[in-house]
Structure 1
Amino acid sequence: MAKTLGEMELTDHNKSSLFEEGVLDSLLSLWSHGEIEVKQAGVKALLNLSSLPKNGQEMIRKSVMRPMLDTLYRHTSSQSLRELVAATITKLAFSASIETLVSLFDDDEDIYELFSLVNVNGPAVQQSILQAFCAMCKSPSAASVKAKLAQCSAVQVLVQFCGMAIQLFGQMQSNYSVA
């Protein structure tokens, strides 16, 4: 079921109906499963369903962030699983930016934890985490997120990432104009 939900193109009505029928609890139970393929299918389904902000907000209320952060932090998790989790966190961050009563994190330490993962994961995960922070910085809790980022060395790291992105963009442009 999870694999099918992760691969199907669903309408917003279908996504909403699935949540109303209680699919979230079934998908969350897959986190405790030992097989990586089962976890990946569950996360892929959550990613698909989280594109509807109402569903994303419900996922946040059901405390899905803690297992997601734990999965990203665990070096034993496969890269593809971490990429799916990071993409889902990005969708949840956008959902939280819409609703004033939903906070993506239970604890301010989670902000530090997520940001620390920017340095230890591959490009796809890094991109998703940075997109999540962009969404959080546009949310009703933006002042709090920005203050927490300023307290850690996040500003220097972001400047470093921006510098690398500008350099890569310049290289891509020069390669394109030569060809």
Structure 2
Amino acid sequence: MSKRVIIMNFDVESQAYQAFSEVKKLHVGRQIKGEQMAVITHNNDGAHQFKINDFLDFTGNDHTSKDSLIGMVIGILGGPLGVLLGWFAGSLIGATQDAKEIQGAQSIFEFLTEKIAEGQTGLIMIAEEDDNRQLNHLIMNDLGGEITRLEYENVTKEIEKAKAVEKKVKEAANDAWMDDKKNTDTN
């Protein structure tokens, strides 16, 4: 059994909600073993924010959307690192010392912004799969959507990289702010 982060995208918003409902039924029928699932929207307001519209923790651990892996991904996308790196409009960093580290941290986030484009609504689910046929049939055949599977371990590694880079960026910004303040105070 392989634990995966599954991204599902659709042409029509209502299909994402229908998929959310149908996937719950697959879980109840033990046809899939889900951990968490969320309906997310990539806002079409120019701010490039993602919003979690509905969230379900299948495990019964009462995770909220914010303390879930899905919430972490969405938080990083909408946080200062996502804005700084310009995941939506190309990198603003350029050729810095940390460019390779930053580039590695971008892949899951860039991928998500490509799959669920501005104005679109989709699903993200964390699940263990023995057989992916039921979910594939539902998403691709019944609802006409796309489905992409990413290895859970790879996604968690990328989140950790992004958090580390975000911490460095915050520290560097704080140091620069304090240096500027010292220079202003001494003049």
Q: TM-score range by the shorter chain?
A: under 0.3
Bigger Rg, structure 1 or 2: 2
User: More strand per residue: 1 or 2?
Assistant: 2
**Does 1 or 2 have the higher relative contact order (CA < 8 Å, sep 6+)?**
2
Richer in helix (by share): 1
Normalised by the size of structure 1, how large is the TM-score? 0.25
* Alignment TM-score, normalising by the size of structure 2: 0.25
